[in-house]
Amino acid sequence: MTHPKRRFWGGLSIFAFAMIAALAPASADDLDFSERLKPETFTLKNGMQVVVIPDHRVPVVTHMVWFKVGAADEAVGKSGLAHLLEHLMSSGTQKLKPREFSQIVARNGGQRNAFTSYDYTAYFQRIAIDRLPLMMEMQADLMANLTMSEEKVASEKNVVLEERSFRVENNPAAILNNEVNAALFRNQHYGLPVIGWRHEIEGLTREDALNWYRTYYAPNNAILVVAGDITAEELKPLAKKYYGKLKRHKVPARLRAEEAEPLAAVRIEMKDVRVKQPSFQRAYLAPSARTGEGREAEALEVLAYILGGSNNSRLYKQLVITDRAAAGVRVYYGSTAVNDTDLTISATPTHSGDMDALERAIDKEVARLLTEGVSEDEVAKAVKTLKGDAIYALDSQSNLANQFGRELATGGTIKNVLEWPQRLSAVTAEDVNAIAGKVLQPQRSVTGWLLPEEAAR
Amino acid sequence: MRALMKTFCLSLMVVFAALSTAPTVNAREVSKSPSGQINVQRVVSPGGIEAWLVEEHSIPIISFDFAFQGGAYLDLSGKEGTANLLAALLDEGAGEYDSQAFRSLIEENSISLSFSAGKDSLTGSLQTLTANKDLAFELARLAVNEPRFDKEPVERIRGQVLVGIKRAEMNPNSVASKELFSRLFPGDPYGRSVEGTAESLVGISAKDLRAYRAAALTRDRLKVGVVGDITAEQLGALLDKTFGALPDQGAPLQMTPVAASNEGASVVIEMKNPQSTVIFAGPSIAREDPDFIPTYVLNYTLGGGGFSSRLLHEVREKRGLTYSIYTYTLPFDRSAIWVGQVASDNGKISETLQVVRDEITKMRAEGVTAEELEDAKRYLTGAFPLRFTSNASIASQLLGYQMSGYGIDYINERNAKIEAVTLEDVKRAAQRLPSPDEITFVIVGEPEGIE
């Protein structure tokens, strides 16, 4: 019950990053976020950052604790450890018997879950506002006093291995995706699957899990995000009471390697008897909001949108409507990452399944973009649509909580989030063309083909 | 602005359950009252079209969900997939706008308009910024009333559906589900795929799509749920504009109930997966049956609720045999089934299914304990308000309740119905659960130890 794939969360940021929203979408210049979204933040004495996102429509809150640690922080040979600990985080304390945390949340009409990504691990409950103190008390207890038996660790490892079968091994497209990532990120841990390699999951121990927990689950490495029917003034005494008593301790700095400039295009072809319909993906190594310079990340968001963000995009029009080389095509870019990330083109050939024609058509369209560039008009339209779409993000308190949590857990700031529309508005055709020229280069890419295994039939 | 429109304003309370015990923490630390209010208005347009509306003016957006009863049920024999193809084409060109012009207008104005077909209905969903609402509703009107079905989009979307069908053959869940329905409802439209087949799709013409639209999209089959920055009066006018030109009535729908097969079976479909994917189901109780709510409550304890169900505890927590296991009641307009899903590695699936069978048998024999019933009630009533936290989800709830035939007071009464369930009710409902022998298990993979 976790979502370990970065794309499921980070990939949403093309539109969802924005939450902040405009008053009048027609006039992009007078956005007034302060009218719609008023996040407040403060930091407890032990270093735990707190963010409150008021939404008073219904008396419900989303309570989240984010830790600035994820799969990309794992030591060599220990892939899957961040995710395994996430599974074990409800295993109990001196006060909470195993199962009791889940039971108490449910008995109080709440829902709980957790997720792990490369750069963060997060735990949340959605519940009626008057139950919030109870959630905070239990989450704080789990943060400091976690216990786990050998039996529980062994059993949960089996659950995780079943999860791996379910998410990856039963799904040829997911296997290919892992292989593409492994080839694209050669020097940083984004190349490892968040859920871990099977043989390494099997080797993880209770001691590994406890070490991980003791090392990284400190208040000074955590962010509390509460969205819903509450104000900072109301939350402050509760945060102090429950989380304020946790002791800070030194947490190792994130040791992250930089990618070397790639020098060779990589191709991966995977054949599998289970494949009935071929598919194509090409990932380009791309800067993230953290590693990009100036407006590079925003320009990449605009580029992804113009190239393949919708059924009105360049690739869709050319490949799907005009050439009839593809049944569908999309481009994804998620900017929220500590290290360099990827911009990925995914496509499915038409019923006839001609992958060569599909790739040629993609190459041609990418080449056209690089030689002719995008126009100011295209950029203006894309910016307007992306900002307009961002208003919808205001409708969901859990979405808002996720946006802020993700941003802060990857080293960003609240200001970053709030100023996203202005930064997006500032993007010019020149910005987009410059970043396209830098990123859409064959030697920065890994191309993956998923094909049926005819020979084995 | 006209005053002809009738507005029945029913002020409904969604009570945010005041639960009796909050272990160890004093709820008064948060001074907020734990009850909130959602006002659902029944709006009837000047032209007589009804919608349920929740006004919410704090965000400049409108969520507008609507559906026509019928869906894939109305697909002609040999033309399976018509409703689904139609749904995918309604926003691909209408009125004076061809596909690209239509899509451009939608996108450049941050409008979202989509349609989908299900076994019993065809659903539309419109989201717009308040500032663009006139254009948004005009596009919805065109999509519903004047779709073009030009050759290019028809062939393109048909191709996409065909590719989708091929992709589904790689997905063990899709494969299992398709097989399950064909066995539960042989010879009935419920046994068919909403997407149709590669053969049936080829035979669907633009003329067939027009005929389906003209016959199926009628005002008597329409329900509407709306939430957002719009008043009852504004909505009334837009309802008439959007749907006013549709025929008042379609041909009567033949709603003959059909019972799902209770013959039971274990069916293995070979797929070279390391893990076996299982979907199982048997006949269940209709929405109108007095035991429907007790069955719903029972299901929470058996396989419904997040991390708290018996099946999750037995199969995942105690034995580590799966990542996910859950069950649910699935009512249709003419039938109802009880469904479960689980996956375990090929060597373990046989043990998993034995535990599942044992738990069903135990539930049928003993029902639930008083504590389990109390837990179920607390969760189900307490979590009900979580469905009402965003405009989009409220609109979808409002539509869903209408499609289920519930009255506008359902939201108000729902928790009381849950609270009223007794141990005896659950015991009776438990005896009406399908027995393991009456359940069809479809297993996709290379399971070991399954006959």
Where in chain A are the domains? 6-242, 266-452
Task: Pick A6-242's CATH classification: 3.90.1150.150, 3.30.830.10, 3.20.20.80, 3.40.50.1860.
Answer: 3.30.830.10
Whether B226 and B302 map to the same domain: the answer is: no
pLDDT of amino acid B5: 40
Q: Is residue B1 part of a domain?
A: no
Residues B182 and B298 in one domain: no
Ranges of residues in chain A with a pLDDT under 70 are: 1-35, 455-457
Decide if B107 and A396 are in contact by the 8 Å CB cutoff: no
Closest listed residue to residue A211, CA positions, set A46, A48, A81, A80:
A81
pLDDT beyond 80 at B305: no
The model's confidence at residue B36, banded by pLDDT at 50, 70 and 90, is: low
The verdict on B234 and B278 lying in the same domain is no
B 162-191 → A contacts, CB under 8 A = 162-163, 166-167, 169-172
**Is B306 a residue whose pLDDT tops 80?**
no
Residues B291 and B425 in one domain: yes
Count of structural domains within chain B = 2
User: Among the listed ranges A58-67, B179-188, B246-255, which one has the minimum average pLDDT value?
Assistant: B246-255
B370 in A contact zone (CB under 8 Å):
no
Q: Does B103 touch chain A (CB under 8 A)?
A: yes
**Category of A318 on φ-ψ map: left (φ > 0), alpha (ψ -120 to 50) or beta:** alpha
A370 contacts chain B (CB < 8 A): no
ipTM of the complex, rounded to two decimals:
0.91
Q: From CA B248, how far away is CA B221, in angstroms rounded?
A: 9
Q: Which of B34, B132, B445 sits opposite A130 (nearest CB)?
A: B34
Do B402 and B286 belong to one domain? yes
pLDDT of residue A353: 80
pLDDT interval class at B237 (50, 70, 90): very high
pLDDT value for A33: 55
User: Residue B260 domain-assigned?
Assistant: no
Asked if pLDDT for residue B14 goes beyond 80, the answer is: no
B41-79 tens-digit pLDDT: 999 999 999 999 999 999 999 999 999 999 999 999 999
What's the gap in Å between the CA of B220 and the closest CA on chain A? 31
Do domains A6-242 and A266-452 share one topology? The answer is yes
Q: Are strands B222-228 and B50-55 parallel, antiparallel or unpaired?
A: parallel
How many CB atoms neighbour CB A420 within 10 A? Answer: 26
Instruction: Tell me how far apart the alpha carbons of residues A1 and A66 are, in angstroms, rounded to a whole number.
Output: 17
For residue A139, give Cα distances in angstroms to A50, A297, A343, B266: 14, 34, 36, 43
Residue type, A170: N
Tell me which residue in A128, A160, A172 faces B382 most closely, judged by beta carbons: A128
Largest CA distance in chain A: 67
In DSSP terms, B44 is beta-bridged to: B6, B50
Domain match, B84 and B196 both: yes
Report pLDDT for A7: 28
Q: From the list A59, A112, A327, which residue is nearest B36 (CB)?
A: A59
Residue B25: pLDDT over 60: no
Q: Identify whether the C-beta of residue B16 lies closer than 8 Å to the C-beta of residue B36.
A: yes
Alpha helices, DSSP H only, in A165-295?
A: 172-184, 198-203, 206-216, 232-242
Measured between beta carbons, the chain B residues lying within 8 angstroms of A317 are 100
Query: Can you give the CATH number for the domain in which B342 is found?
Result: 3.30.830.10
Which residues of A, range 133-172, sit inside 8 Å of B by Cβ? 133-134, 137, 154-163, 165-166, 169-172
Contacts of B305 in chain A (CB under 8 A): 106
Q: What is the mean pLDDT of residues B165-169?
A: 95
Which chain A residues touch B36 with a CB distance below 8 Å? 58-60
**Residues 85-104, chain A, touching B (beta carbon < 8 A):** 90, 99, 102-104
Residues B168-192: b if buried by 16+ CB within 10 A, e if exposed = bebbbebbbbbbbbbbbbeebbbbb
Q: How far is CA A383 from CA A15, A430, B93, in A?
A: 10, 14, 24
Which pLDDT value is given to residue A35?
A: 65
Flag whether residue A348 sits within 8 Å of chain B, measured between CB atoms: yes
**Is B258 within the bounds of a domain?**
no
Among B212, B243, B274, give the residue marking a domain's end. Answer: B243
Interface of A with B in 174-233 (CB under 8 A): 228-230
> Looking at residue A455, what is its pLDDT?
45
When scoring A31, A58, A116, A163 by the number of chain B Cβ atoms within 10 A, the one with the most, hence best to mutate, is: A58
Nearest beta carbon to residue B306 from set A106, A134, A158? A106
- Secondary structure (3-state) at B183: helix
CATH number of A266-452: 3.30.830.10
CA angle B409, B415, B420 (to 5 degrees): 110
Provide the 8-state DSSP code for A444.
G
Q: Say yes or no: A26 contacts chain B, CB-CB below 8 A.
A: yes
| CB contact residues (below 8 A), chain B span 320-359, against chain A | 320-324, 343-345
Q: Which of A139, A166, A355 to mutate to test the interface with B (most CBs of B within 10 A)?
A: A166
Selected residues 225-244 of chain A with any CB under 8 Å from a CB in chain B: 228-230, 234, 237-238
Could you list the residue range(s) of the whole structural domain that residue B283 is in?
A: 265-445
For residue range B374-418, list pLDDT tens digits in order. 999 999 999 999 999 999 999 999 999 999 999 999 998 999 999
Instruction: Indicate whether B233 and B291 sit together in one domain.
Output: no
The pair phi, psi for residue A43, each rounded to 5°, is -125, 130
Q: Measured between CB atoms, does A108 come within 8 Å of chain B?
A: yes
Query: Contact, B310 vs B296, CB < 8 A?
Result: no
CA B208, B164, A173: angle at the middle one, nearest 5? 175
Structural domain includes residue B381: yes
A to B CB pairs, distance under 8 Å: 246
Please report the sign of the dihedral spanned by the C-alpha atoms of residue A227, residue A228, residue A232, residue A234.
negative
Choose among B275, B320, B391: nearest Cβ to A395.
B391
| A45 inside 8 A of chain B by CB | no
Tell me, yes or no, if A86 is annotated catalytic: yes
Instruction: Using an 8 Å CB-CB cutoff, list chain A residues near B25.
Output: 133-134, 137
Judgement on whether residues B132 and B216 belong to the same structural domain of the protein: yes
List of long-range contacts for B392-397, beta carbons under 8 Å, 24+ apart? B392/A392, B392/A395, B392/A396, B392/B63, B392/B127, B392/B227, B394/B38, B394/B54, B394/B56, B394/B63, B394/B225, B394/B227, B395/B54, B395/B63, B395/B64, B395/B65, B395/B225, B395/B226, B395/B227, B395/B228, B396/B65, B396/B125, B396/B225, B397/B225
Tokens of B444: 């996709």
pLDDT attached to residue A34: 53
**A237 vs A228: CA distance, rounded Å:** 17
Residues from chain B contacting residue A63 (CB–CB below 8 Å): none
Q: Are residues B218 and B274 in the same domain?
A: no
Do B143 and B282 reside in the same domain of the chain? Answer: no
Asked whether residue B235 falls in the same domain as residue B177, the answer is yes
> Longest C-alpha distance within chain B, in Å?
71
Residue B165 lies inside a defined structural domain of this protein: yes
CA-based nearest residue in chain A for residue B158: A327
Instruction: Specify the DSSP class assigned to residue B435.
Output: P
User: What's the pLDDT at A454?
Assistant: 76
Average pLDDT over chain B, rounded to an integer: 92
d(CA B451, CA B440): 14
Question: Do residues B231 and B294 both lie within one domain?
Answer: no
What the block records as the tokens of B77 is 């024999």
Comparing A33-37, B22-26, B333-337, the range with the smallest average pLDDT is B22-26
Q: Token pair for residue A135?
A: 């959630």
Catalytic, out of A35, A40, A74, A86: A86
| Distance, CA of A195 to CA of A118 (rounded, Å) | 10
User: Chain B within 8 Å of A256 (Cβ-Cβ)?
Assistant: no
Stretch 275-294 of chain A: residues touching chain B, C-beta under 8 Å: 275-277
